[in-house]
Structure 1
Amino acid sequence: MLIVPEREIADLMTREAAFSAVEQVFASMAAGDAYNFPVVREAIGHEDALYGFKGGFDRAGLTLGLKAGGYWPHNLEKRGMINHQSTVFLFDPDTGKAKAMVGGNLLTALRTAAASSVSIRHLAREDAKVIGMVGAGHQATFQLRAALEQRDFDKVIGWNLHPEMLPNLEKVAAEAGLPFEAVELEGMRAADVIISITSSFDAILMEEHVAPGTHIACMGTDTKGKQEVAPALLAKAAVFTDEVSQSVSIGEAQHAVAQGLIREADIAQLGAVINGAHPGRRSAEEITLFDGTGVGLQDLAVAAAVVDLAVEKGIAIEVDF
């Protein structure tokens, strides 16, 4: 079995490689060549943690495995380590033998950012100029860096429940040579693209906060009960997702579907847009919304790419398992 430690990931996986891996797996899912297993996601009753498993099988890429991990909300304050903790396990689909174990913390941030940036590439207006960020935590910086590569943005605006964290976004904007402005939620109407990346269980972004023609990437809701945007906003938008079954069960759409505002049949796969089976955005005035629930196949795709690179560079650790 091969081991690729967390410390090696930063030198192996680029944003471009993560984007390519995630875009390809979305397309494979929509084509029926890859599928995800049911998600296990539970509060364990210790440290307020959420823990679970995401897995799947990609027939096209012959990638089989799972990611184990979750969210420990007190890690940063108590231990000086990030709150999201995970590990990816890959198996040989021909034999079932354990093939690789890969550090999943940075990979999770990169693949989540790649997913929203794929949605921006395929759904945002070409003339989008202002990007808005709802959330300014650890993963928000990855989201913003990836998103800025998808359009010729000229300004970044941001809101966070704890405003003292907004300099995280301002620093990324400065790296890209762009101005940054802290706004109230009403100020998000100036944004052409909005990314929400929080751990909220209550709607933050409301219908009145979003202007016509906006693309919204909802990236924080991945558990039953979580919520970042008002259900009425999904009813007003063309809704896309990574995995429809997850969208209606643990994603942002769970609330709109429960309230009867949209149906499961109203939700399209982003992969269908990538494949050309769905037209995607239909007009400059249409609001598009990507419900990024985070599928196991994303993790497997980026982890498999990392293993190949680690072997190529001679830094994968081989153990007799």
Structure 2
Amino acid sequence: MPVFSGTAVREAVPPLRAYEAVRDAFVRHARGEWTMQPKVYVSNYPAGDFRAMPALGGGHALLKWVTSFPGNPARGLPTVTGLVLVSSAETGELEAVLDAAAVTALRTAAAGVIAVEALGRGGSSAVVGCGVNGAETARLLRARGGDPLVWDVDPARLAAVSEDVGARPAGSLEEALAADAVVTVTPGREILFRSGSLRPGQHVSLMGADGPGKAEVAVEELARATIFCDDWEQASHGGELAAAVAAGVLRGTAVRQLGDVLAGAAAGRTDDDEITLFDSTGLAIQDLAIALAALDSARDIGLPTLAL
């Protein structure tokens, strides 16, 4: 059974391959071919939380056990750690173990950029937050032919990611937030888009507020935008939209799922002045897509194996 370290995951699944795999997973999920249940949170507030995420599709089953501990970087530890387990859907046999942080970075970047291309109107782009997931997002935007601005609260991290990815550092947070398409990949503890700040025609992929109590945009701004999400059942109680749902200002009938847009079952952007927001809570079917793409390349990259 192959064991994929983080380095092996990234070697097996280049950014453009991740993009295609996750886009296909969105469509398969929208058509009911791949299934999943909403993630289960095991909270250890305020330190962080644990998440269990199952999925089934393509002849395989997946379970992702992953953490999010925002204070870890100050301790010299990664925010995200965990494992992805892939099994045969026919026999139940365990087929592979993968590093969850690398899988998460690839699928988070892919989802954010897919939303930019499906819901944006073109023009300038920016990534706010240069952690592991933000860096991967900027890398994918570059691979897709973009020239994104990047911004981070940590000047050293901003400089390192700018050089590594070949992206342009923004002079300020405000400059980055003014781009035509913005992907926010922050811990979700601070509102970035305050009331009245979104511009006509702007698109924002909100990737950081992936759990209860997190937000990157003011609730008032949701009323000004056309709202999209990755999965309504999950997003309605565990992400950026949860506060608006609880306040009674947002209902599921007003929210479209990105997979439905990609599958042609729902409308995307309808005019150039429309503000579009995509709320990403992170789906197990996206992790399954990355894991299966990695398995396709396993023989080519000489992985260590584990005998159970």
TM-score normalized by the length of structure 1? 0.88
Aligned to 1:216, the other structure's residue is in SS state strand
Question: 2:158 aligns to what?
Answer: 166
For residue 280 of structure 2, the aligned residue among 272, 292, 308 is 292
SS in 2 for 1:171: helix
Moved more, 254-263 or 188-197: 188-197
The structure 2 residue matched to 1:245, chosen from 213, 217, 233, is 233
1:313 aligns with 2:300: yes
- Aligned CA distance change for structure 1 residues 210 and 40 (closer, same or farther; 3 Å): same
Whether 2:207 is the aligned partner of 1:181: answer no
Residue pairs, 1:157-306, within 5 angstroms: 158=151, 160-162=152-154, 165-171=157-163, 175-176=166-167, 179-185=168-174, 187-188=175-176, 190-306=178-294
Query: Equivalences for 1:35-46 in 2 at 5 Å?
Result: 35-44=35-44
Question: Which residue of 137, 147, 158 corresponds with 1:143?
Answer: 137
Secondary structure at the aligned position of 2:244 is classed as helix
TM superposition shift of 1:3: 2.1
Letter of the 2:130 partner, please give it. A
Q: Which amino acid aligns with 1:257?
A: V
**Distance change (3 Å), C-alpha of 1:316 and 1:217:** same
Deviations 1:27-75 (A, max 9, x none): 0111111221231122236x913111111112xx223111111123343
Match of 1:55 in 2: 54
Deviations 1:275-318 (A, max 9, x none): 112221100000111111101111111012112211x2262444
Deviation, structure 1 residue 190: 3.1
Q: In percent, how many aligned pairs have the same letter?
A: 29
| Equivalent position SS for 1:209 | coil
Identify the residue that residue 82 of structure 1 maps to in structure 2: 78
2:58 paired with 1:64? no
- Give yes or no for the alignment of 1:16 onto 2:16: yes
With over 3 angstroms needed to count, the CA separation of the structure-2 counterparts of 1:123 and 1:110, relative to structure 1, is: same
Q: CA deviation at 1:125?
A: 0.7
Aligned partner letter, 2:216 = E
Q: Which moved more, 1:107-116 or 1:142-151?
A: 142-151
Offset at residue 172 of structure 1 (A) = 5.3
Residue correspondences, number: 308
Q: Relative to structure 1, is the Cα distance of residues 226 and 163 closer, same or farther in structure 2, using a 3 angstrom cutoff?
A: same
1:245-288: per-residue Cα shift (whole Å, max 9, x none)?
11111111111111222211211111111111222110000011
After TM superposition, the score normalised by the length of structure 2 is: 0.91
Please point out which of 97, 105, 108 is paired with 1:109. 105
Counterparts of 2:164 and 2:196, CA distance in 1: 27
Partner of 2:149: 156
Distance (Å, rounded) in 2 between the aligned partners of 1:3 and 1:156: 35
